Chain A
């Protein structure tokens, strides 16, 4: 293929789709009890979220090194790609894109790094739709135009089961300020233009699920949809049934990567969408 597509593991693209569209996914790093694990290796998402409430110290996450990106870019170009399009997690939330940009610097125009301003399938759908266009033969500049458009149409909303993890992770300034006196608080977050915003809270899960539905319907007609969860698969499937959406591309149900889960905690429920 003329254009090779690269992303990182915060994109949450299911392995079969990544393979079908030849998407190269660079794993991020989970540091668990002092041990560095590549995303997806050493511990499953299910295991991780089950263990999380009893972890004495929170894991941390790190980007792959610029060297890892360089190695991949080098390989793809050597194998005949004319361009590499490397699409990554929001630069407002993570340094991943700095590692990619640092690596890309050596290749000039041949490697284009794009800030998706999103994460999980908010990023993943941008990558997938760009890859689909690439397979259909789109050239590099139209692909970047497409991504610029998709970035504006990508949505991510979530209900976290507790404020605790997002507050401790410190990636979200408003959460840091809250010393959360109330124990039962389910915060709602929206990821918009790279930044996580608070959409208020509910105190019970039942009301939270209803609110999440309302948020979904407020988005208008959808082009893509993924129900996201952190080890709440049953809730995610029920949510999908209850919203009764009918899309040309079947919705995905995804247990979110531990790299993101570290910062949001288990039992979260949400969705990523591309609006029309």
Chain B
């Protein structure tokens, strides 16, 4: 039966010296308590190997199992107590960090086999054996993790031995080294650096050591020291995406505190005012970010003024921003894929930010702006080729009129470039779905070219002159619908044009209709028309995307 964590009581107030089995028990209990107090901090750092936010919990469960094994033990022998704790950790180890932690304990106990009490020498030896056992137990050791922190702590303990034979002093060195080692983990493990965090398992080990030291120093183990992120790590970009109902304003305040901040009280107060709280610190300036309800929009400023000198205030009405954005494209940059040398990179020509973002999300490595009546120059395309760190490139022109420019550009670079002749945005997107960056170039080009046929293209635009084409009479200013480049119908009404197009294109034989709405269509209007389409085509899925393209009210993919 698996048990979930119970609480531990505060360890006994006295520790016998030298440290015997009972002393070790108290230290383990202290490490567990301090780790548990900081469990959520460790969870929040968890991005490696899997960002599922359970490293802290898993390490607590493992330490709890170690402690449960010895909680009622009256054993005075240090070695026997260490073995019992290690056994408990081994049986109860949870998750990868827990398994490694159990190996650290196992090695630790092994080195203390014949020790009745802890001395400086045996502590150093035990840490070294713990490190070796943990490294051996992991099939693929990775640096920048709990393993590195264990290694650096063991090394610091060994160095400290030259100057002291007091286990307490050595523990101080261990804690300091673990702290520094944790801070260095992002330099060793790129995924941590990208996420702007230190390693969670390493941090957990640090808290275990620090809990032991805090006990020796008589410091409390049950209240966390609130952590503040460096200013550079504050992620305010996506604030719009995380708007909660009733939280209408985003307020960002910089202030210079009058005195040392009581962070726990600070967070408590902020939680009473609003949500999405983020606090950063740098160069003595605190930056506070919060979402608040309409009527509370000045409260954070008044509050910050009680704490220090307010240097800057920024306020945004989130609701107004979220509302009708017709005529302009919502903010947000295009995230393109990073390509490694030797991989296949795709360059896509896109007529609007929204469409560019969708191409980016599908793994395009570069976007060249262009489309109907705004053909990119050969130079712009070559420039995009040359800037990529690979020499295997595929270009998607996404417009019939740009195919030739793309072919010319392909002939003017020394890199290997293939043109997959997509005539429309939906075709380009369909081709993107077949991209395998590490695949065989010719095979990928072939698959992407075949995929062009996987989708039907609808385009809704406004006629610029009065004309008759393909038997369809069009008045200047009317809304017209094209199906795979061919004029289908003209109408005075946008919704009718969309529905007429879908009907004539036999959309009811397909599964999915995706609407990319252009700059001249508001989000509300796009969603309203999508609802009408859903009524007319109840069997089909209808998806709406912001395209931000000029000239075309809608670009429609039918597949």
Contacts and interface: CB of A to CB of B under 8 A. Distances in A.
Decide if A and B are genuine partners: yes
Interface of A: 29, 31, 34-38, 58, 60, 62-63, 65-68, 70-71, 91-92, 95, 97-99, 101-103, 105, 115, 169-171, 173, 176-185, 197-207
Nearest to A263: B50
A95 B543 contact: no
A183 B93 contact: no
Contacts of A197: 436, 438
B511 A102 contact: no
Given A62-B94, A65-B98, A98 B137 contact: yes
A105 B335 CA distance: 46
A65 B357 contact: no
Given A105-B137, A182-B362, A200-B433, A169 B52 contact: yes
Contacts of B214: none
7 contacts: A58-B52, A66-B90, A66-B91, A98-B139, A102-B137, A179-B361, A184-B514
A199 B51 contact: no
Given A66-B93, A169-B52, A179 B335 contact: yes
B144 interface: no
Contact of B361 (A58, A68, A180, A207): A180
A199 to B, nearest CB: 6
A73 to B, nearest CB: 12
Contact of A200 (B47, B138, B436): B436
Interface string B40-54: 000000010111111
A185 to B, nearest CB: 8
Given A29-B2, A66-B99, A105 B512 contact: no
Contacts of A62: 54, 58, 94-95, 98
Given A97-B139, A198-B436, A70 B90 contact: yes
A203 B95 CA distance: 35
Contact of B93 (A31, A67, A200): A67
Given A181-B545, A182-B358, A170 B52 contact: yes
Nearest to A99: B99
A199 B436 contact: yes
Contacts, number: 140
A63 B102 CA distance: 13
Contacts of A37: 2
B140 interface: yes
B438 A60 contact: no
B39 to A, nearest CB: 13
B55 to A, nearest CB: 10
Interface centre among A35, A71, A185, A204 (most CB of B within 10 A): A204
B424 to A, nearest CB: 15
A202 B512 CA distance: 11
A181 B358 contact: yes
A117 to B, nearest CB: 11
B512 A203 contact: yes
Contacts of A36: 2, 4
Interface centre among B2, B136, B543 (most CB of A within 10 A): B2
Ranked nearest first, the 6 interchain pairs of A and B with the lowest CB-CB distance are A67-B91, A95-B96, A170-B51, A181-B361, A204-B511, A65-B93
Contact of B136 (A35, A105, A177): A105
Contact of A65 (B50, B102, B136, B360): B102
Contacts of B559: 203-204, 207
Contacts of B436: 197-200
A182 B543 contact: yes
Interface centre among A67, A99, A176, A200 (most CB of B within 10 A): A200
B504 to A, nearest CB: 20
Interface string B495-529: 00000000000000011101000000000000000
Contacts of B47: 170
A103 B87 CA distance: 11
A234 B383 CA distance: 51
A170 to B, nearest CB: 4
Interface string B344-375: 00000000000001101111000000000000
A211 to B, nearest CB: 9
Contacts of A169: 50, 52
Given A60-B52, A182-B545, A34 B99 contact: no
B434 A65 contact: no
A70 B86 CA distance: 13
Contacts of A95: 49, 95-96, 99
B361 A178 contact: yes
A92 B138 CA distance: 12
A16 to B, nearest CB: 27
B511 to A, nearest CB: 4
Interface centre among A67, A102, A185, A199 (most CB of B within 10 A): A102
B316 interface: no
Nearest to B454: A207
Given A60-B52, A65-B102, A101 B137 contact: yes
B92 A65 contact: yes
B390 to A, nearest CB: 16
A203 B4 contact: no
A67 B361 CA distance: 43
A102 B545 contact: no
Interface in B517-559: 541, 543, 545, 557, 559
B165 to A, nearest CB: 32
A71 B93 CA distance: 13
A178 B335 CA distance: 9
Contacts of B49: 95, 171
A181 B50 contact: no
B2 to A, nearest CB: 4
Interface centre among A63, A205, A206 (most CB of B within 10 A): A63
B24 interface: no
A103 B140 CA distance: 16
Interface string B158-193: 000000000000000000000000000000000100
B81 interface: no
Nearest to A170: B51
A31 B54 contact: yes
Given A169-B50, A170-B50, A203 B96 contact: no
Given A67-B102, A185-B433, 12 more contacts: A31-B54, A35-B4, A62-B58, A62-B98, A66-B91, A102-B93, A169-B50, A169-B52, A176-B51, A200-B434, A201-B362, A204-B512
